[in-house]
């Protein structure tokens, strides 16, 4: 049986907290809406997902450059990109409680409760107001709503007081998408590396948005991380390249990250965000959020961004093709996935509850995080059979041999059965048990998380054993 106790969001959130994956931010001050911290296992898992993305998108290819641009950019960046004018959600407020909601979400929830579906994607405040009025939609507390209005999503802050490059009371924006840092470095990459089209520039980093609602755990937060890649190409190749990236991204999610393919699907956007001329989402079936929702976006951004930045900066951003002697602004296909949102999907997909027989022959629940071993936070658990100095000492010496290559953890507290369960629950693929036989013949048992089969392996062979397992 799979996932039988993790269908609702509260149980899932509690599991993430209890197991050191995700903590609510600023909890001792009562929390801070739509912001989360990552605990020790969550940090390791997030880093592992990021590393797999960088391997697939950069290391295993020859045509993509990885950069790390600053979160703050010249404020003109966001005027040129169109975000200052157009990046907004539609807000409504409960007239009595003053709680704020996204109008499109309230309407969609209302229709869902009636067993119907409506797509409010990119509807204007006026269109949403008409729907609210027609169906007399109220707030979740049963009160009337204010007239829908646009609410800017850019997070504003101030920097310095003497910087002459800034105007408008020193307002700067925390970046709302990482790709703008890529466009601003496109010319640097061209000047330094002289790449031929098509080529990509990628980066992973924080983005910030003033999200209106804060009820979806790490699915929608005000501070999050994106893994974005912009693929520069000649416009004649756009359809082929768009299709290639649709296949590549789905392949990575299924065959590298290990999400179950039945939980993923493509969805074409009918109404487009202001910078895109064609857009598909890869959606994941988030059960704890009630169904399929956007996980990754694949966007044809055409020459919109480079043209805008060229216009606003006055700097030419053309590409010169030495073969055809043609000079033009390259077009861009973008792939953009939220690291935290993928982290959510990975946990939801892998969290499994199995019925097993315990030592007394009774049926027990075994919670196992059936995550790819390459993503597991702890690769190898090391367990002395009992709390005895010699066994603990030997466990430490085994850890010393393995720790440079793998993240390992020794656990000495509680019964051996309980300790296996703890490692199963955080997805540790292998557990080494050091027992009394180890003292006699220098062998240990290695238990496989998924099959629960045990191998007896000589300590001297452990390095080779695990290098085969993690090949």
Q: Does 300 bind ligand GAP (CB under 6 A)?
A: no
Strands 430-434 and 380-384: parallel
Q: CA-CA distance, 403 to 417, in Å (whole number)?
A: 24
State the minimum distance, in angstroms, from the CB of residue 301 to ligand GAP: 8
State the minimum distance, in angstroms, from the CB of residue 361 to ligand GAP: 46
Q: Does 228 bind ligand GAP (CB under 6 A)?
A: yes
Among 288, 336, 352, 433, which residue interacts with ligand GAP (rule: CB under 6 A)?
Answer: 336
Q: Does 337 bind ligand GAP (CB under 6 A)?
A: yes
Q: CA-CA distance, 228 to 336, in Å (whole number)?
A: 4
Q: Does 348 bind ligand GAP (CB under 6 A)?
A: no
Of 444, 437, 451, which is closest to residue 401 (Cα–Cα)? 444
State the minimum distance, in angstroms, from the CB of residue 297 to ligand GAP: 4
State the minimum distance, in angstroms, from the CB of residue 209 to ligand GAP: 5
Among 19, 203, 310, 340, which residue interacts with ligand GAP (rule: CB under 6 A)?
Answer: 340
Rg, Å, the chain Cα set: 26
Q: CA-CA distance, 247 to 228, in Å (whole number)?
A: 16
Distances from the Cα of 411 to the Cα of 48, 380, 394, 441, angstroms: 22, 11, 13, 22
- Strands (E) across 186-321 are located at 199-208, 223-233, 264-268, 278-286, 291-302, 319-321
Q: What dihedral do alpha carbons 287, 292, 294, 296 form, nearest 10°?
A: 90
State the minimum distance, in angstroms, from the CB of residue 173 to ligand GAP: 14
Give the nearer residue to ligand GAP in terms of CB position, either 214 or 407: 214
> Residue 445 pairs with which residues in a beta bridge?
433, 456
Output the residue with the shortest Cβ distance to ligand GAP: 338
Instruction: Report residue 355: phi and psi, to 5°.
Output: -90, 125
State the minimum distance, in angstroms, from the CB of residue 155 to ligand GAP: 11
Q: Does 382 bind ligand GAP (CB under 6 A)?
A: no
Q: What dihedral do alpha carbons 415, 416, 420, 423 form, nearest 10°?
A: 70
By CB under 6 A, which span of 39-47, 142-150, 290-298, 383-391 interacts with ligand GAP? 290-298
Among 54, 237, 248, 294, which residue interacts with ligand GAP (rule: CB under 6 A)?
Answer: 294
Give the nearer residue to ligand GAP in terms of CB position, either 9 or 138: 9
Strands 155-158 and 291-302: unpaired
Q: Does 220 bind ligand GAP (CB under 6 A)?
A: yes
Alpha helices by DSSP H, 122-178: 125-135
Q: Does 83 bind ligand GAP (CB under 6 A)?
A: no
> Residue 299 pairs with which residues in a beta bridge?
279, 334
Among 89, 93, 296, 411, which residue interacts with ligand GAP (rule: CB under 6 A)?
Answer: 296
State the minimum distance, in angstroms, from the CB of residue 408 to ligand GAP: 31
> Residue 409 pairs with which residues in a beta bridge?
381
Q: For the segment 148-177, give every residue that binds ligand GAP (CB under 6 A).
A: 177
Give the nearer residue to ligand GAP in terms of CB position, either 221 or 372: 221
Among 221, 335, 409, 433, which residue interacts with ligand GAP (rule: CB under 6 A)?
Answer: 221
Distances from the Cα of 162 to the Cα of 79, 156, 157, 159, 222, angstroms: 22, 18, 15, 9, 29
Give the residue carrying structure tokens 């982290």.
Answer: 343
Give the residue carrying structure tokens 């969550």.
Answer: 42
State the minimum distance, in angstroms, from the CB of residue 273 to ligand GAP: 7
Q: Does 226 bind ligand GAP (CB under 6 A)?
A: yes
Q: CA-CA distance, 43 to 21, in Å (whole number)?
A: 7
Q: Does 69 bind ligand GAP (CB under 6 A)?
A: no
State the minimum distance, in angstroms, from the CB of residue 344 to ligand GAP: 9
Among 42, 181, 330, 338, which residue interacts with ligand GAP (rule: CB under 6 A)?
Answer: 338
Neighbours of 276 (CB within 10 A): 17
By CB under 6 A, which span of 43-51, 334-342, 363-371, 397-405 interacts with ligand GAP? 334-342
Neighbours of 319 (CB within 10 A): 20
Among 179, 241, 298, 329, which residue interacts with ligand GAP (rule: CB under 6 A)?
Answer: 179
State the minimum distance, in angstroms, from the CB of residue 288 to ligand GAP: 15
Give the residue carrying structure tokens 């861009």.
Answer: 332
Among 104, 211, 349, 411, which residue interacts with ligand GAP (rule: CB under 6 A)?
Answer: 211
State the minimum distance, in angstroms, from the CB of residue 355 to ligand GAP: 34
Which tokens go with 73? Answer: 């950019």
Give the nearer residue to ligand GAP in terms of CB position, either 118 or 155: 155
Q: Does 89 bind ligand GAP (CB under 6 A)?
A: no
Give the nearer residue to ligand GAP in terms of CB position, either 345 or 426: 345
Q: CA-CA distance, 241 to 331, in Å (whole number)?
A: 11
Q: Does 295 bind ligand GAP (CB under 6 A)?
A: yes
Phi-psi bin for 278: left (phi > 0), alpha (psi -120 to 50), beta?
beta
Q: Does 209 bind ligand GAP (CB under 6 A)?
A: yes
Of 376, 372, 369, 379, which is closest to residue 465 (Cα–Cα)? 379
Contact footprint for ligand GAP (CB under 6 A): 177, 179, 209, 211, 220-221, 224, 226, 228, 294-297, 334, 336-338, 340-341
């Amino acid at each position: 049986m799979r996932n039988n106790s993790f269908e609702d969001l509260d149980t899932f959130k509690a599991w993430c907290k209890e197991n050191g994956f995700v903590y609510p931010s600023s909890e001792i001050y009562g929390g801070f809406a739509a912001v989360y911290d990552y605990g020790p296992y969550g940090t390791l898992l997030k880093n592992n997902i990021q590393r797999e993305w960088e391997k697939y998108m950069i290391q295993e290819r020859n045509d993509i450059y990885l950069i790390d641009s600053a979160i703050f950019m010249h404020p003109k960046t966001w005027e040129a990109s169109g975000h200052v004018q157009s990046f907004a959600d539609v807000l409504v407020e409960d007239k009595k409680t003053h709680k704020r909601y996204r109008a499109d979400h309230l309407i969609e929830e209302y229709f869902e409760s009636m067993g119907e579906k409506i797509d409010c994607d990119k509807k204007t405040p006026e269109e949403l107001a008409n729907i609210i009025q027609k169906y007399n939609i109220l707030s979740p507390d049963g009160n009337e709503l204010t007239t829908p209005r646009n609410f800017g999503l850019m997070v504003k802050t101030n920097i310095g007081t003497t910087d002459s490059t800034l105007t408008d009371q020193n307002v700067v924006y925390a970046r709302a998408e990482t790709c703008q840092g890529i466009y601003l470095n496109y010319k640097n990459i061209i000047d330094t590396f002289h790449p031929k089209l098509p080529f990509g520039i990628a980066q992973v980093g924080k983005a910030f948005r003033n999200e209106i609602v804060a009820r979806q755990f790490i699915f929608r937060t005000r501070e999050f991380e994106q893994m974005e890649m912009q693929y520069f190409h000649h416009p004649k190749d756009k359809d082929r390249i768009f299709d290639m990236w649709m296949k590549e991204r789905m392949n990575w999610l299924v065959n590298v990250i290990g999400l179950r393919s039945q939980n993923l699907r493509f969805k074409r956007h009918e109404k487009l965000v202001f910078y895109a001329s064609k857009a598909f989402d890869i959606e994941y079936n988030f059960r704890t959020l009630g169904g399929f929702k956007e996980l990754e976006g694949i966007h044809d951004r055409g020459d919109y961004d480079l043209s805008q930045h060229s216009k606003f900066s006055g700097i030419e951003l053309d590409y010169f093709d030495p073969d055809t002697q043609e000079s033009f602004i390259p077009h861009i296909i973008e792939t953009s996935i939220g690291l935290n949102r993928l982290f959510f999907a990975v946990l939801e997909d892998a969290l499994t509850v199995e019925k097993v027989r315990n030592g007394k022959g009774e049926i027990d629940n075994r919670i196992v995080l059936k995550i790819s071993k390459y993503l597991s936070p702890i690769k190898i658990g090391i367990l002395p059979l009992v709390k005895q100095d010699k066994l603990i000492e030997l466990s430490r010496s085994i850890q010393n041999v393995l720790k440079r290559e793998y993240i390992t953890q020794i656990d000495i507290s509680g019964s051996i059965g309980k300790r296996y369960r703890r490692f199963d629950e955080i997805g540790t693929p292998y557990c080494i048990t050091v027992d009394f036989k180890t003292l006699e013949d220098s062998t240990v048992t290695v238990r496989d998380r998924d099959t629960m089969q045990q191998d007896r392996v000589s300590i001297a062979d452990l390095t080779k054993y695990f290098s085969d397992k993690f090949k």
